[in-house]
Amino acid sequence: MKTTGVKAIRGMRDILPQESAAWQHLEAVVAEVIDAYGYREIRLPLLEKTELFSRSIGEVTDIVEKEMYTFADRNGDNLTLRPEGTAGCVRACIEHGLLYNQVQRLWYRGAMFRYERPQKGRYRQFHQVGLEAYGMDGPDIDAEVILVSRRLWQRLGLAGQVELQLNSLGDSEERAAYRERLVDYFNAHAGQLDEDSHRRLESNPLRILDSKNPEMEPLLSAAPALLEHLGQASRAHFDGLCARLDAAGVEYVINPRLVRGLDYYGRTVFEWVTDRLGAQGTVCAGGRYDALVEQLGGRPTAAVGFAMGLERLVELLAADEADSRGTSSAQVYVVVGNAALEVEALVLSERLRDEIAGLRLSLHCGGGSLKSQFKRADRSGAEIALVLGDAEWARGEAAIKPLRGGGEQTNVAIDQLAARLRSLLDLRSD
Ligand code: ATP
Ligand code: MG
């Protein structure tokens, strides 16, 4: 019987070696920029109790209604693969007392899981970087969080490609009053609602504003806007944020229809959107969620944060730089001219890695003819082949052969090798 191979789960992608350079670059820049603002990394479990998410994200949201990977473990406990990071972060902060009489600036990165229809920019396992700030209730910290993201776009060369959209969802009373106003409006135009919106009218009418159905467009653009019904304090908060963004030279568009897919947001909400990724255009989304910590059993604590989707950012970066950076390919490939020198080659390779900081050296393993070894050296992307041959070795030498752009093979004394390679590769000495 012929067996067929096991394939990956739909919507769960492998990130292959040719893509990983772009990921590493993105992750390094993210860590550096966030670090510059004094945020510290927190690492959280992938699995949490299901109720953590139903209590925080909201029972009638897309995520909790239909996107969670939920199962009973062997003990019968109801667990869920995290669909987002904020709930787990808040849980950890409460559990470890990180919020008592102190502010926290935290960030995390890692895989998230949502059972969605896979398409470009939308996967079932995807990766986010999230940033959360606790214990600060003013627009100053909202502005800071946005500035972190802006600096990131600048550092990644994406500044011209993303647009900041901003809105306020008010406080819970303002939202409740607005909700009624909105339901009245939609009921008065019930004939123009699509099926999805009819369903949401009862459960989550604000989400109707988020509909991507073009036929709903006229109805939605004429809908009442929460931004026009804010109380004084919410209005002042929003104006304070806008003033700070203006002062820092951050451009933004006020989008009164911007709501978020998670229930816990209030007051500031924002998204960074690009038109270069088709329908999946939001690369970073966030806002204020002052009610969540208390909702999950902690003391009332102001909170604001964002999450960005790394797949979409990698996609944007790749659109810019079609060729991969190739930072991880080898610089030097060691060709072993005689099998009798395999052990010497191994020891010499280790020594060169010790002596040359930052050197990327591949040692040929598995034997084979010189011709086949040079073929692999070429494919490795290395600039230089280091060839160990019997005659040279006996004289205490090895050969250096440039692999790109011609150049003669030269013999170099073994104890001069590190210096020569360093200068050829333009590397600093350690
Ligand atoms: P969308 O409207 O695209 O479904 P969302 O509102 O569900 O987004 P958030 O929960 O705010 O998304 O997540 C923050 C970011 O994470 C998104 O802006 C996006 O960049 C990314 N993201 C969310 N879901 C996915 C997914 N299934 N695949 C890839 N990236 C995702
Ligand atoms: Mg979604």
Ligand nearest to the CA of 115: 1
Ligand nearest to the CA of 84: 1
Strands, E assignment, 206-345: 253-254, 268-273, 282-288, 303-309, 332-336
Q: Considering only CA atoms, which of 29, 270, 304 is closest in space to residue 163? A: 270
Decide: 13 in ligand 1 pocket, CB within 6 A: no
Q: What are phi and psi of 332, to 5 degrees?
A: -125, 135
Rounded Cα gap, residues 81 and 71, in angstroms: 9
**Of all protein residues, whose CA lies closest to atom 22 belonging to ligand 1?**
309
For a pocket test of ligand 1, which of 82, 113, 128 has the largest count of ligand atoms closer than 8 A to its C-beta?
128
Task: Evaluate: CB of 282 within 6 angstroms of ligand 1.
Answer: yes
Measured in degrees and rounded to the nearest 5, phi and psi for residue 158 equal -110, 5
**What letter represents residue 18's amino acid?**
Q
Residue 312 Cβ inside 6 Å of ligand 1? The answer reads: yes
Say which ligand is closest to the CA of 308: 1
* 3-class secondary structure, 85: coil
Contact criterion met (CB below 8 Å) for 373 and 335: yes
Full pLDDT tens readout for the chain, 430 residues:
677 899 999 999 999 988 998 999 999 999 999 999 999 999 999 999 999 999 999 888 889 989 999 999 999 999 999 999 999 999 999 999 999 989 999 999 999 999 999 999 999 999 999 999 999 999 999 999 999 999 999 999 999 999 999 999 999 899 999 999 999 999 999 889 999 899 889 888 998 998 888 899 899 999 999 999 999 999 999 999 999 999 999 999 999 999 887 778 999 999 999 999 988 899 999 999 999 999 999 999 999 999 999 999 999 998 766 544 445 678 999 999 999 999 999 999 999 999 999 899 999 999 999 999 999 999 999 999 999 999 999 999 999 999 988 889 999 999 999 999 999 988 644 4
CB 313 within 8 A of CB 153: no
Centre a 10 Å sphere on the Cβ of residue 67 and count the other Cβ atoms it contains.
Answer: 17
Rounded to two decimals, what is the model's pTM?
A: 0.88
Question: Coil, strand, or helix at residue 109?
Answer: strand
Pair 94, 296: CB distance under 8 Å: yes
- 343, amino acid identity: V
CB of 411 closer than 6 angstroms to any ligand 1 atom: no
pLDDT digits (tens, 9 = 90+) for 234-252: 999 999 999 999 999 999 9
SS3 content of the chain, % helix, strand, coil (to 5): 45, 20, 35
* Interior angle at CA 91, CA 71 and CA 47, nearest 5: 25
Amino acid making up residue 1? M
Taking the CA of residue 342 as centre, how many other CA atoms within 13 Å lie in the half-sphere pointing to its CB?
A: 7
What is the helix (H) or strand (E) element at residue 112, kind and residue range?
strand 104-113
CA-to-CA dists, residue 349 to 153, 365, 388, 414, angstroms = 39, 12, 11, 11
Distance 309 CA to ligand 1 centre (A): 6
Atom of ligand 1 nearest to the CA of 284: 18
Q: Phi and psi dihedrals of 46, rounded to 5?
A: -75, -25
